[in-house]
Amino acid sequence: MKKLIDASQQLGRALMLPIAVLPVAGLLLRFGQPDLLNMPFVAAAGDAIFAHLGLLFAIGVAVGLAKENHGASGLAGVVGFLVASEGARAILQVPAADMAKLGVPLGIVSGLIAGLLYNRYGEIRLPSYLAFFGGRRFVPIASGLCALGVAAVVGFAWPALTSGMDALSQAVVSSGEIGLFAYGVLNRVLIVTGLHHILNNLAWFVIGDFGGASGDLKRFFAGDPAAGAFMSGFFPVMMFGLPAACLAMYRSAKPQRRPAVAGLFVSMALTSFLTGVTEPIEFSFMFLAPALYAVHAVLTGASMVTMDLLGAKLGFSFSAGAFDYLLNFNRATRPWLLLPVGAVYFGLYYGLFRWCIVRFNLRTPGREPDNLDSTPITTQAAGSAGDDFVRALGGAANLRSVDACTTRLRLLLNDREAVSAEQLNALGARGMIKVGSDGLQVVLGPIADQVATDIRRAMATSAQRTPTPVASSKAADIAATTSDSAARCASGRLMVRDAEFAHVDSDKLSDLGVRAIARLPNGWVHLLHPEPEQLLAKLGGSAARSH
């Protein structure tokens, strides 16, 4: 079960890369319309992105899953998608437009195959007469061969696939308000794990069909008047409800601390209202008051039902914020209904949050005990905090994997106990989630991806430092005792048990290309090296790869 959850979270993170392209598509498509700039080539440019979403998902998912997000996996994703889609179309003998509804699913499958193949075979060594095709060049070849199997499955199972997708769409649509309510509740409940991205992709890119456009989001921009049911209900919550929650938390803060937390609440409220990014607000009370978060999830489901019953159909290319609302106002159905519904939700959220915080004495920001440090959480400028975050996370040697989605860092650590929650809070963290035995998610807001880049840059700089000397005799001594349980290879480092490292000569390790040595409290020694498998082979033994 743990492996399934971890894999699902990786997929959810990877899906955010192609989804991040949609805002520019929506802007181009909207600005090019006759009622705005009346520039057909601009509208066509935006429509081109929507028309090739499958290709974008193939690239984005592959790069998102691949180690170090290497671009070679993106090329493999493109190869796989083209082979799978065109191969299936050749079997079916149908026009390309008839394959449109499978574009995104095929793109996701192709990206999954490419990303997994890159992680498994990105460093494969072939015989000398085939050496040119080894390493990363092997991945697109293998991806294309696997995609032939996908093409065969799609081509020969087409009737079952189309009937299955139609049945799914009809089941969701026929469930009516019950289905919308369940979707709204689950969307908020699953946000803590990041699995809501998978649910959103099903609703926005798969369910329903309108002139070859599938999914609520694509159908909305294709002009389907019935589209928008899976997007409209988010607007009252994100533009009015959660900003009201911020006001309630500010009003509930201790008077002497209100000036200190005002900037935090204003920043979070504006982010939610303007862009629809809500996680910074939600993580400020998700763990402090789970019951209050459950109410928030129920209210989101109720908002989906309310907007549908009123016949309001709104859409977005990024999220349910004011920018998307205004840009797509003329494309929406009864968009003005958002204002009265939003006013009701503002009052509802403010009243519920204010009452619950005061009644149950919840320690929301600004209500901490007087003996605790009341320094407000601040967000450092992107590009200047990489070294600070590395230190707060236990040092470069403690970080096995650094990724990010829209609002949070997604990390794999060697020793989670080495992380300093106080330092992360001082750097702007709004919440932390422990995932499995070695995973950690740090909620930062929209700057998360920039911070992840800063961390990786700081780690690369750290790896170039001179190795720290350690006592010893010769590097080969480690070969006599290394085993699968004593040595592991991770991205950019060889991890060795401290007991096996007691007599190693650091000078000889430098000759072998080791850039730095770090000891962790958990009994492991990390040797930073660009090719850890080759290092271990030179030292002797075999690696049990750590993912």
Q: What does the angle CA 498 – CA 120 – CA 102 come to, to the nearest 5 degrees?
A: 140
DSSP string, 327-394: HTTTTSBSGGGHHHHHHHHHHHHHHHHHHHHHHTT---TT---TTS--PPP--PPTTS-HHHHHHHTT
Closest CA to 196 of 313, 77, 297: 297
Q: 444 by DSSP, 3-state: which?
A: coil
Please list, residue by residue across 197-215, b when 16 or more beta carbons sit within 10 angstroms of its beta carbon and e when fewer do.
bbbbbbbbbbbbbbebbbb
Non-local (6+) Cβ contacts of 169 within 8 A are: 206, 207, 208, 209
- Residues 146, 246, 356, 405: which is the catalytic one? 405
Please list, residue by residue across 81-118, b when 16 or more beta carbons sit within 10 angstroms of its beta carbon and e when fewer do.
bbbbbebbbeebeeeeeebbbbbbbbbbbbbbbbbbbb
- Could you say which DSSP state residue 13 is in? H
Cα gap 302→179, rounded to integer Å: 11
Closest CA to 13 of 533, 411, 513: 411
Q: 516 by DSSP, 3-state: which?
A: strand
> Is the distance from CB of 62 to CB of 357 less than 8 angstroms?
no
Cα gap 49→300, rounded to integer Å: 30
Distance between first and last Cα of the chain: 17
Give the position of tokens 């049911």: 229
Closest CA to 202 of 241, 169, 156: 169
Closest CA to 418 of 489, 495, 518: 518
Residue 219 belongs to what H/E stretch? Answer: helix 216-221
How long, in residues, is the chain? 547
Q: Which two structure tokens, joined as six digits, stand for 528?
A: 């930073």
- In a 10 Å sphere around its CB, with 0-12 CB exposed, 13-18 middle and 19+ buried, how is residue 290 labelled? exposed
Our measurement of the distance from residue 521's CA atom to the centroid of its chain's CA atoms, rounded to an integer in Å, reads: 30
> Is the distance from CB of 111 to CB of 58 less than 8 angstroms?
yes
Cα gap 310→298, rounded to integer Å: 18
Residue 518 main-chain phi, psi, to 5 deg: -135, 135
Would you call 146 a catalytic residue per the annotation?
no
Which residues does the annotation mark as catalytic?
405
